[in-house]
Amino acid sequence: MSRVVSVVLPAYNEEATIEETVETTIRTLEGFLPNDGFEIIVAEDGCDDRTPEIASRLAEEDPRVRHFHGEERLGRGGAVEAAFRVAEGEVLVFFDTDLATDMRHLEELVESIRTDGYDVATGSRWMQGNEADRSLKRGGASRVFNGLVRTALPSDLKDHQCGFKAFDRETAFALFDATEDSHWYWDTEVLVRAQRMGYRVKEFPVEWTEEGDTKVDFSRDVLDMGGGVGRMWWEYSVDPRITQRTTIAGGVLFTLLLIVFGAQFFDPYEVLARMAEADPLLIAFSALVYVVSLPLMGVRYRDILAELGFYERVDFLTGAVFISQTGNVVFPARAGDPIRAYIVKARRNVPYPSGFASLAIERVFDLLMVTALAGAVLLGFAATGVTSVGGLYADIVGSGMEGSGGAALVAALTVGLAAFVAVALIVVSVRTDRNYVRAFGDRLGTGASAEFLIEISERFVSDIQLVAGNRRASLRIAASSFAIWTIDVLAAIIVLLAFGVEIAPLTLLAVGFFAVSVGNLAKVLPLSPGGIGMYEGAFTVLVVALTPINATVALGAAIVDHAIKNGVTVGGGVVSMLALNVSLTTAVEESKEARDVATDSD
């Protein structure tokens, strides 16, 4: 390898300056390196001006200049990284083509790696002794961002975004393999990971002058960079602490806090007394009714997998549903959902991406059906003059329970509205080939964080469109979803009857549909195991607001109803685990890896 140093110049529409930049770089390198000891690579990143033509001409005129052409935009970091991978030098350098950093610092940058033995070197505009002439807007934003990085990640460096960096070749490729971002946040991620991975990083002050307008979009790219900080903070500070023990402890603590908070509004002894008075035969009958819904979930799951090209027996799939639902009861954060993807992969070799796609489809049909049921009942109440959204809120406030159940109600209504709108848009989009997710996402950002969210959304939408595009399959899955939730509601109504409530049958049916639907929407928030507390709060608030049933009876019924459903689920889950030889704790651990495999596969 004949080159000592490879300098990459990331160029996007730089026709006015690129030739002068290359010439200045050559003169500077010739001042301390042999004439054939370096190369300059113009990393032209999908330009739409004359930059490619100029770069090609410069490469023809001087063999030390190379033109790395990109047909489409890779992003600033992506273009630099791609050019480094074809570079020949042992020391890899890049700096911004506007030459905002005084080139007299280039020798120190190179020799920090070449002679002093550092793995990474970077200029700094914020170290004591530098001379950085920056506008208030850009300087203030830079200080805030760098302060955030030092605090959240943390980092020992003062300036992470200075476009003046050098790497040892071996170190560079190890860092690039670990780096996810490809745009403006790339600089920061590389430096933070270098420190985390134990590499020697040198930061030294540079003279820097603001040249022209920045290409950073403060309304879009800054959001990307903030998302990058959040992503790495989660990776380094939160994710390592999320263990099976901590998630269970956190969920149990949250549930206990809900109980303690709810005790401020209810006499727990009176609630227990009302529960003890409930008709045990009707309670048992409610449990039997609910049992019927679990095999229906297996039938629905069979139909969903069939649309994805996998054909399995209903009994096996029902067992998988039982086990995953048991995981959701035992663990918070809906940790049971990925268990099903693990089971169908381990026992029936259904690929992880398809397993997670089937879960996404099922969840959307659940949300759509629950939202539709709640909305239909609310419209029915409004049409008959019983209540309105405003009147319902007034009833909640007037009941004095806005603290315990109002949050769950607001959460449920918000989730329901978002789900209904999102699914409606997805179904409409089936009729067009345009990728609305990508078009909208590109407006928000282009970094790794934005790209991650866009890819998840695209996969989610494509999964739904696959089923929505088949009208017969959609109707079949929707019908089974309706049957499942109707049984869920009937089980709750039977529990209310067990508590001796006396309400007109149609009113009881309507209230049951509304309360159960909104209660299940509240459970979507993964705050406690099985949504305990969230369901009871929303259910109680709505029953009290819409009927003459008192709060103590409503809460007692909600607790018994939820306990029955969770009990049936756990009982079926235990039987299924024995039948399928599946350990719940092992499945949870394996499902974490399953999520990573599914993400990487896409």
Find the range with the poorest average confidence among 12-16, 75-79, 255-259, 387-391. Answer: 387-391
Find the range with the poorest average confidence among 171-185, 274-288, 535-549. Answer: 535-549
Q: Is the pLDDT of residue 425 over 70?
A: no
- State the residue for tokens 């268990």: 339
Has residue 259 been placed in a domain?
A: no
Q: Give the residue from 221, 239, 257 where a domain finishes.
A: 239
Three-state DSSP class for residue 133: strand
In a shared domain, residues 310 and 458: yes
CATH of the domain at 216: 3.90.550.10
pLDDT per residue as tens digits for the range 444-489? 555 555 555 566 566 666 666 666 667 788 888 889 999 999 999 9
pLDDT per residue as tens digits for the range 152-201? 888 999 999 898 999 999 999 999 999 988 888 899 999 999 999 999 99
In a shared domain, residues 234 and 173: yes
Has residue 154 been placed in a domain?
A: yes
How confident is the model at residue 42, as a pLDDT?
Answer: 93
Residues 6+ apart with CB under 8 A from 267: 552
Has residue 307 been placed in a domain?
A: yes
546 — pLDDT class (breaks 50, 70, 90): confident
Q: What are the structure tokens assigned to 235, written together?
A: 């990776």
In a shared domain, residues 207 and 277: no
Q: Give the residue from 220, 239, 258 where a domain finishes.
A: 239
Q: Is the pLDDT of residue 216 over 60?
A: no
Q: Is the pLDDT of residue 584 over 50?
A: yes
Higher pLDDT, 98 or 333: 98
In a shared domain, residues 502 and 560: yes
Has residue 263 been placed in a domain?
A: no
In a shared domain, residues 387 and 505: yes
Has residue 250 been placed in a domain?
A: no
For residue 243, what is the DSSP state?
Answer: -
401 — pLDDT class (breaks 50, 70, 90): very low
Q: Is the pLDDT of residue 515 over 70?
A: yes
Alpha helices in 201-336 (DSSP H): 221-233, 244-262, 268-277, 280-291, 293-307, 314-330
Domain that holds residue 586: 268-601
Q: What are the structure tokens assigned to 344, written together?
A: 């169908």
Over residues 523-542, mean pLDDT: 73
pTM: 0.60
In a shared domain, residues 377 and 443: yes
In a shared domain, residues 78 and 133: yes
In a shared domain, residues 181 and 108: yes
Over residues 84-109, mean pLDDT: 93
Higher pLDDT, 383 or 182: 182
How confident is the model at residue 440, as a pLDDT?
Answer: 56
How confident is the model at residue 505, as a pLDDT?
Answer: 84
In a shared domain, residues 506 and 431: yes
Residues known to be catalytic = 187
Q: Is the pLDDT of residue 109 over 60?
A: yes
Q: What are the structure tokens assigned to 107, written together?
A: 């020798």
Q: What are the structure tokens assigned to 80, written together?
A: 């630099």
Has residue 517 been placed in a domain?
A: yes
In a shared domain, residues 285 and 164: no
Which of 100-109, 256-265, 389-398 holds the top average pLDDT?
100-109
Over residues 22-40, mean pLDDT: 94
In a shared domain, residues 203 and 275: no
pLDDT per residue as tens digits for the range 440-452? 555 555 555 555 5
In a shared domain, residues 416 and 557: yes
279 — pLDDT class (breaks 50, 70, 90): very high
Has residue 134 been placed in a domain?
A: yes
Has residue 261 been placed in a domain?
A: no
Which CB contacts under 8 angstroms, 24+ apart, belong to 370-374? 370/416, 370/485, 370/517, 370/520, 370/521, 371/416, 371/417, 371/419, 371/420, 371/517, 371/521, 372/420, 373/485, 373/489, 373/513, 373/514, 373/517, 374/416, 374/513, 374/514, 374/517, 374/518, 374/521
Q: What percent of the chain has pLDDT over 90?
A: 33
Between CA 315 and CA 307 the distance in angstroms is 18
How confident is the model at residue 427, as a pLDDT?
Answer: 57
pLDDT per residue as tens digits for the range 284-337? 999 999 998 888 999 999 999 988 889 989 999 999 999 888 888 877 656 677
Higher pLDDT, 593 or 344: 344
Quote the number of domains for the chain.
2
How confident is the model at residue 434, as a pLDDT?
Answer: 58
